[in-house]
Structure 1
Amino acid sequence: MTRTTTATIGITGVTGHVGGAVSRALEERGVAHRLLGRNPQRFDSRVAASDGLLESASLDFSDPERAAESMKGLQTVFLVSAAETAEREAQQLAMVGSLSRAGVERVVYTSFASPSPTATFTFARTHYATEQAIERAGLEHTFLRDNFYLDVLPLFAGEDRVLRGPAGDGRVAAVARADVADAAVAVLLDPQAHTRGAYTLTGPESLTMTEVAQILTRVTGQQYRYEAETVEAAHESRAVLDPEPWEMEAWVSTYTAIASGELAEVTQDVRELTGHAARSLEDVLRQR
């Protein structure tokens, strides 16, 4: 194993599924990197056991000045998008400024499939704005445009194992989080080969919500079904949870984005980046 001992890569979202998997894969390959998180003390034992391979520093999307200090000396940052809040877009745009002030040369950003200012899914608009800010800042970049996560589709079901929402007969080419992590590692290990690249990461098939329910039923042995709602009914059924307006729109637009066809495209980008086939929903469920 070739070991790199000077950290020039920073990883955000290290306590999450994707950022954590990317960090572990780099560590296994002997690639030094800096763990960037709100509570870097959580990484103390891991850093101490790494024999100088790992560093840690504080990064909070709500504190862009400190984030800039924490990223100094890094050439590349794997930027996992901020938590879903009303301030998400403002925080991500501020983080782009932090990257520039820190002197970071390159960002690998977890964006979203079909980003645009008029995207149906509300957070796809936030990702579009962030991509545009990265380009305006003159940062070298690679955009990993993830579809919805296969790992999260089971959570669309309520306790009664019914998936409810205004997705109609629309299809979604959801991707496994593990495949997103594998793709990110491939880019980070050879970033110049992917400069200015934008990859739409999907699973191997495009599924309706009815088909998702059928696969869940087959794999788990429990009965799932999809119940289509109108947009109005979707707002009414979720109102009992008293969400904030931005949260309600994000929830409902998750389904209307599927209905729109914007998330139906299946690509080969996972295979192109990783060299292996994309995992299916059945693969993800069986691995769990």
Structure 2
Amino acid sequence: MSIVVTTPTGRVGSRVVRVLLQAGVRPRVLVRDPARLDPATRGLVDVRTGDMTDTAFVREATAGARTVFWVDPTQPTGPDPNAASERTAAGLVDAARAGDVARVVLLSSIGAELRGGAGHIDALGRIEECLDATGADTLHLRCAYFFSNLLFSLDDLARGVLPTQFHPERPMAWVDPRDIGDVAAARLLAGEWKGRVVQAVHGPEDLSFLQVAEILTGVLGRPVRAEAVSDADVRAALGSAGLPPGAVEAVAGMAAGTRDFTPEQPRDVLTTTPTTLAAWAYAHLRPRVSEAMRAAAARGGDGAAGAAA
């Protein structure tokens, strides 16, 4: 069984690799820098070193694979992230169209089904369409909002604030990237599915940012309040950070385009995964927030008060 895994050092990809190894599969992994692979894993996988934006490398590295797990590696910081994502996927699309790849599992997102108006998520929708047109068997995992996105707000959480561009009171799906990896690995190993398949990965429950703030209050042992941030303020902050206009829209448009959106697939036994936000936050967020609070204390900032253990 030949399985290719892209971004094998990422939060989802690394979990996929681990599960495949435990299932007795030696996956082929595409990496820019093999040194980033876990040393214990490096000798158990087939490493192909190259740049995923290099179409020729992707064609060669995926040739003959039964299944490819594709994660778009594009960072939405360039002048046109959506076009960059589509160009990066072109090698895989060409391989699937030529029959060099039999099946593709794509890490997509809730909102990709909109096919427009959702910032960088639109690129995933376009990749879905391109893969669907190849004739290869394709499975699109439309994933919920990652728990790990909270790690981008460490300094704010150290101050007891959870900023959000979404409606604070509106529930939405949240998911642990590790659970996404488990679902992806299960699909990569399964031989029964054919044609075009869409499967959402919604996490254990829908939560509003108000509810998330309440959960984090318990996890961190100090008050956390949700605070709405306007689209204009987000765009202004991104622009001030030096992002070009295309990147600003790619980032800000994701929340702006999906905050009133109901996913195409309902929550059911196939789309619900087990890890709760509280469990993830105790393991991954609480230590990082504590570090941020200690750093603020060293700087004399107001994040020092009430530091969590």
TM-score bin (small chain): 0.7 to 0.9
How far off is 1:57 after superposition? 1.0
* Match of residue 3 from structure 1: none
Secondary structure at the residue paired with 2:219?
helix
State the partner residue of 1:210. Answer: 210
**Higher deviation after alignment, 248-257 or 173-182:** 248-257
Q: Give the deviation of 1:178 after TM superposition.
A: 1.1
Match of 1:12 in 2: 6
Match of 1:228 in 2: 228
Q: Partner residue of 1:140? A: 137
Q: What amino acid is aligned across from residue 208 of structure 1 in structure 2?
A: S
- Indicate the SS of the match to 1:122: coil
Superposition deviation, residue 224 in structure 1: 1.9
Matched, 1:284 2:275: no
Shift of residue 272, structure 1, vs aligned partner? 2.8
Alignment of 1:239-250 (within 5 A): 239-250=239-250
Alpha carbons of 1:246 and 1:211: their partners in 2 closer, same or farther (altered >3 Å)? farther
SS in 2 for 1:191: coil
How far apart, CA to CA, are the structure 1 residues paired with 2:184 and 2:21? 14
**Residue 73 (1) aligns with residue 64 (2):** yes
Shift of 1:118: 4.6
Q: Which runs of 4+ in 1 moved over 6 A?
A: none
In the alignment, what sits opposite 2:47? 56
Identity %: 24
The verdict on how the C-alpha distance between 1:27 and 1:192 changes in structure 2, with shifts beyond 3 A counting, is: same
| 1:164 alignment partner AA | P
> What CA distance in whole angstroms lies between the structure 1 residues aligned with 2:251 and 2:38?
36
Aligned to 1:97: 94
One-letter code of the match for 2:46? E
Matched residue, 2:270: 272
If the length of structure 2 is used for normalisation, what is the TM-score?
A: 0.79
- The two structures, once aligned, show a CA RMSD in angstroms of 2.7
Number of residue pairs the alignment of both structures matches: 275
Residue 216 to residue 66, structure 1, CA distance change in 2 (3 Å): same
- Note the 1:64-213 alignment, pairs <5 A: 64-85=55-76, 86=81, 87-101=84-98, 103-116=100-113, 118-156=115-153, 158-159=155-156, 160-168=159-167, 169-193=169-193, 195-213=195-213
Partner Cα separation in structure 2 for residue 133 and residue 253 of structure 1? 22
2:31 — aligned with what? 37
Q: CA deviation at 1:122?
A: 1.1
Cα distance in 2 for partners of 1:208, 1:229 equals 15
* CA drift at 1:184: 0.8
